[in-house]
Amino acid sequence: MGGLSFRSFTFMFIVAFLVWSSSNVEICHARRGNHWRQQTRTSSASLYKKKGKNHGGNNHHKSGSKPKPKYSSPPPSTPTNPPSKGYDNVPSTNIFDVRNFGATGDGKTDDTKAFQAAWAAACKVEASTMIVPSQHVFLVGPISFSGPYCQHNIVFQLDGTIIAPVDAKSWGSGLMQWLEFTKLVGITIKGNGVVDGRGAVWWQDTPYADPLDDELKLIIPLNKTILRHPPTPLNSSLSGKMPSIKPTALRFYGSFNVTVTGITIQNSQQCHLKFDNCIGVAVYNFTASSPGDSPNTDGIHLQNSKDVLIRSSNIACGDDCVSIQTGCTNVYVHNINCGPGHGISIGGLGKDNTKACVSNITVKDVVMQNTMNGVRIKTWQGGSGSVQGVFFSNIQVNEVQLPIVIDQFYCDKSKCKNQTAAVALSGINYEGIRGTYTVKPVHLACSDSMPCQDVTLTNIQLKPIQEHYHMYDPFCWQTFGELYTPTQPPIECLQVGKPSSNKIQADHDQC
């Protein structure tokens, strides 16, 4: 009996040990398995949602770098979903909502410091997303979202509205830009939000201080008075209030791989969107919207930038829809609706005897409605350098005053002195420019000392519409090239071939 009891006790001990071991193994496996990981993520997400706005990003990134993932890749049993639009698929630790940094979004409280704090946190995390949420209006003063020590591939998700201050004290003696992104790599601004410069106070304040577009000299009303934009009526309560220097609404400087998509910039104080010293720029599904008489409100301004794509956008402004300045190469613009505005322009180049270099520019599939110019190249006397390899194709103009313009005597002041030096123009191609004009179909005014070469015109079909201006025949001066098809109206002033005594560019003219 005693032996039986000992064996029974031993057997029961072994069974109990096995049961205990099995439960421990299951606990370990559960901690390593998918269920535990998913549970942790769910808890983390709920914690993020519960955080108050004073805790938004302060606890995420004390080290200043992206935390290492626990697993390099999900196990085969874990389903992987395609990336979702917006920021739903971004890990919560990479999201920085400006409201969690103190922004109120009521359109009255100054949220500049909150935006600065949100950016400071997002800047430390690669592929982070800074959120400006919808259904909120954020009053933000001049601000710079700066590198170069920020991590790469930051997304600025703009779904709400950002408005500019309209009191002079926010601007001091004047600033060149309002919202600026500098020295960043892989910066994206996207969403369906709005940047509103509230520029009327600036336009009303200094209507006479802005340079006039020199092509106005070509547009003479039927009553023979010199046409000038009527000054915007001054509001006495605003007169003398704002600085004379007007800021660009949104500027990128010294950045690589920049994308702007989906957003609207409206009522800009001056330029809407500017890229300076950038490489790899993509702008698409973008809208710029300001009145046609708002002074110097270019839609998109490019300078010293290369590898640029601008497409599928609507631009209405008071100056050039797209302005391409010196230092730009490999620029491709297509599928743009332009108007009101001054058309799409290269220049002005060579101002104050400077050297300008522009090459490999393509503008195609553009519709222009009630603009001053269609496609234009403008340079100042006394400049040097060159414009080479320009292709304007499939441009529809509707009631455009001057559809095709080359002006090497550009001057936005009351008077400019005559100078012999000029920016050299060659390889300028116009193909499929058609529609209606109200002043002059073609104006090609080139330098005496540096005539335009290799200017080709193909399938030009322009019909006049008499409005309130004198109408003129095509004009050419020192312009050499080829007509590959008959044009309407005939452009007989173009000189076929090359100039007989072509000036060879000096070393300082070469680009």
pLDDT digits (tens, 9 = 90+) for 244-257: 899 999 999 999 99
Taking the C-alpha atoms of residue 13 and residue 6, their distance in angstroms, rounded to an integer, is: 11
Judge whether 330 and 360 are in contact, CB under 8 Å: yes
pLDDT higher than threshold 90 for residue 459: yes
DSSP 176-195: SEEEEEES-EEEEEESS-EE
Q: What is the pLDDT of residue 250?
A: 98
pLDDT over 70, % of the chain:
76
pTM of the shown model: 0.81
Tell me the backbone φ, ψ of residue 411, rounded to 5 degrees. Answer: -160, 115
The lowest-confidence range among 154-163, 198-207, 303-312, 442-451 is: 198-207
pLDDT higher than threshold 70 for residue 381: yes
Taking the C-alpha atoms of residue 439 and residue 498, their distance in angstroms, rounded to an integer, is: 29
Q: What is the pLDDT of residue 211?
A: 79
Helical H runs in 246-288?
A: none
Confidence of residue 414 (pLDDT cuts 50, 70, 90): confident
Q: What's the pLDDT tens digit per position in 386-403?
A: 999 999 999 999 999 999
Confidence of residue 214 (pLDDT cuts 50, 70, 90): confident
Q: What is the pLDDT of residue 415?
A: 81
Looking at residue 10, the DSSP 8-state letter turns out to be H
Confidence of residue 342 (pLDDT cuts 50, 70, 90): very high
Question: How far is Cα of residue 446 from the mean position of the Cα atoms in its chain?
Answer: 31
Of 61, 136, 342, 443, which one is the catalytic site residue? 342
Q: How far is CA 381 from CA 249, 251, 355, 415, 452, in A?
A: 30, 29, 11, 12, 14
- What does pLDDT average to over the chain? 83
Query: Terminus-to-terminus CA distance in the chain, angstroms?
Result: 109
pLDDT higher than threshold 50 for residue 148: yes
Q: What is the pLDDT of residue 78?
A: 31
Taking the C-alpha atoms of residue 299 and residue 247, their distance in angstroms, rounded to an integer, is: 13
Q: Is 342 marked active-site? A: yes
How many CB atoms are located within 10 Å of the residue 228 CB?
9
The lowest-confidence range among 1-5, 402-406, 506-510 is: 1-5
Of 111, 205, 276, 319, which one is the catalytic site residue? 319
Judge whether 336 and 315 are in contact, CB under 8 Å: yes
Biggest CA-to-CA distance, the chain = 132
Q: Which residues pair with 334 in a beta bridge?
A: 311, 364
305's CB contacts (< 8 A; 6+ apart) are: 275, 276, 277, 278, 279, 281, 327, 328, 331
Q: What is the pLDDT of residue 212?
A: 82
The token duo for 389 is: 């390899």
Confidence of residue 230 (pLDDT cuts 50, 70, 90): very low
Q: What is the pLDDT of residue 494?
A: 97
Looking at residue 351, the DSSP 8-state letter turns out to be G
pLDDT higher than threshold 70 for residue 46: no
pLDDT higher than threshold 50 for residue 43: no
Q: Mutual orientation of helices 34-50 and 2-32 as an angle, nearest 10°?
A: 50
Q: What is the pLDDT of residue 107?
A: 97
pLDDT higher than threshold 80 for residue 465: yes
Question: How far is Cα of residue 61 from the mean position of the Cα atoms in its chain?
Answer: 30
pLDDT higher than threshold 50 for residue 234: no
Report which of 475, 478, 476, 474 is spatially closest to residue 499, judged by C-alpha positions.
478
Q: Is 473 marked active-site? A: no
Task: Tell me which of 425 and 46 has the higher pLDDT.
Answer: 425
pLDDT over 90, % of the chain:
69
176's CB contacts (< 8 A; 6+ apart) are: 245, 247, 248, 251
Taking the C-alpha atoms of residue 157 and residue 133, their distance in angstroms, rounded to an integer, is: 8
**Per this entry, what is the length of the chain?**
511
Report which of 105, 149, 108 is spatially closest to residue 126, judged by C-alpha positions.
149
Mean pLDDT to the nearest integer, 215-221? 91
Taking the C-alpha atoms of residue 87 and residue 180, their distance in angstroms, rounded to an integer, is: 22
Judge whether 130 and 154 are in contact, CB under 8 Å: yes
pLDDT higher than threshold 50 for residue 73: no
Type of residue at 475 = F
